[in-house]
Amino acid sequence: MTHIHQVNQDQVQLWNGHAGHAWVEMQSVLDQLFTPLERRLVEEAAALRPETVLDVGCGTGAVTLALARRLGGQAQCTGADISRPMIEAAQARAACADTPASFVLADAQTHDFGQARFDLIVSRLGVMFFDDPVRAFGNLRQAAAKGAALRFIAWRGPEENPFMTAGERAVAHLLPALAPRPADKPGQFGLASRERVIGLLEQSGWQDVEVAPLDLACAMPEADLVPYLSMLGPVGPILPNESAARRQEIVGLMRAACESYVQDGELRINAACWLASARNPGA
């Protein structure tokens, strides 16, 4: 199924271009890094015992598939994302694993989910990219059953997640075209403000809104750090356009900037996030 309206075009272009393909290539690394977040969402879902689940911004499908495995035949799990490369990867994973999950190429901000009424809507780092978040969360509420639960994890600010920007800060003087990652704009830190998250959810009709800090220890092998820095984030799309010598210099500086996070052959970081929860009161 495909349904992309002509809104949120910057994000559509980003995630169907370099960023989407990079995430597919780095799928196993990112899945490992964010396993603690996945586990927390699966625990939340299991406690609610839903029958229909929507995973928003599902990427390559790790959370959707984990939910399907945990809930078994009890629940129908659907993942939605605007990235065709990632949705195709998710579909391939589901087929290989013979896991009962479905995936839809869609912008959750505008997609008409039809008669679907989800008991639970979740997201692992996938709802910070809407250019009209009130519209997006309102649209998701329309797809939710009466009394349905919303649970999502989003990054807190860059000052609490210094690793996230360490590499780009180290090379900003070499890359004047490097795009900033401002808070409260579509992007990784789009929901960095707790007050903003509460306001957006309440404006879009959700009730019983709670937004609590969530800090989780995440890790990945040190060997994956250079590919991670080279392919992901705002440096990733720029790096291929640089000369080989300049690329080596940039990657070296980014790697050095992250040295303090490496211990015993692993990159270890604290993921400083929000865990947001809310309830759909109905029509």
What are the pLDDT digits (tens) for 169-183?
999 999 988 877 888
Residue 7, pLDDT > 80, answer: no
Q: For residue 133, give the nearest of 217, 198, 50, 216 by alpha carbon.
A: 198
Average pLDDT (16-27) is 95
Cβ 277 vs Cβ 201: under 8 Å: no
Band the pLDDT of 3: cuts 50, 70, 90.
Answer: very low
Q: Which two tokens stand for residue 31?
A: 């899945």
What is the Cα–Cα distance from 267 to 272, expressed in whole angstroms? 16
What pLDDT does 283 receive?
61
What are the pLDDT digits (tens) for 233-266?
999 999 999 999 999 999 999 999 999 999 999 9
Band the pLDDT of 8: cuts 50, 70, 90.
Answer: confident
Cβ 51 vs Cβ 76: under 8 Å: yes
Total of domains in the chain: 1
| Percent of residues, the chain, with pLDDT higher than 90 | 87
Band the pLDDT of 157: cuts 50, 70, 90.
Answer: very high
Long-range contacts of 109-115 (CB under 8 A, 24+ apart): 109/5, 109/7, 109/8, 109/135, 109/136, 109/139, 110/3, 110/5, 110/7, 110/8, 110/135, 110/139, 111/3, 111/5, 111/80, 111/139, 112/3, 113/54, 113/142, 113/143
Residue 229 placed within a domain: no
List, in sequence order, the alpha helices (H) in the chain.
9-15, 18-25, 27-33, 35-48, 62-71, 84-97, 133-142, 162-171, 194-203, 225-231, 244-257
Helix then strand count (H, E) for the chain reads 11, 9
What is the Cα–Cα distance from 100 to 131, expressed in whole angstroms? 32
Domain range spanning residue 118? 2-158+183-218+271-279
Residue 74, pLDDT > 90, answer: no
This prediction's pTM: 0.94
Residue 175 placed within a domain: no
Residue 209 placed within a domain: yes
Residue 66, pLDDT > 50, answer: yes
Residue 52 placed within a domain: yes
Q: Which two tokens stand for residue 215?
A: 């800090």
What are the pLDDT digits (tens) for 76-132?
999 999 999 999 999 999 999 888 899 999 999 999 998 879 999 999 999 999 999
Q: For residue 19, give the nearest of 144, 192, 147, 188 by alpha carbon.
A: 188
Question: The domain spanning residue 214 has which CATH number?
Answer: 3.40.50.150
Residue 279, pLDDT > 80, answer: yes
Length of the chain counted residue by residue: 283
Residue 166 placed within a domain: no
Residue 195 placed within a domain: yes
Cβ 274 vs Cβ 156: under 8 Å: yes
Residue 177 placed within a domain: no
What pLDDT does 72 receive?
86
For the chain, the straight-line distance linking the first and the last C-alpha, in angstroms and rounded, comes to 26
Residue 40 placed within a domain: yes
Cβ 192 vs Cβ 155: under 8 Å: yes
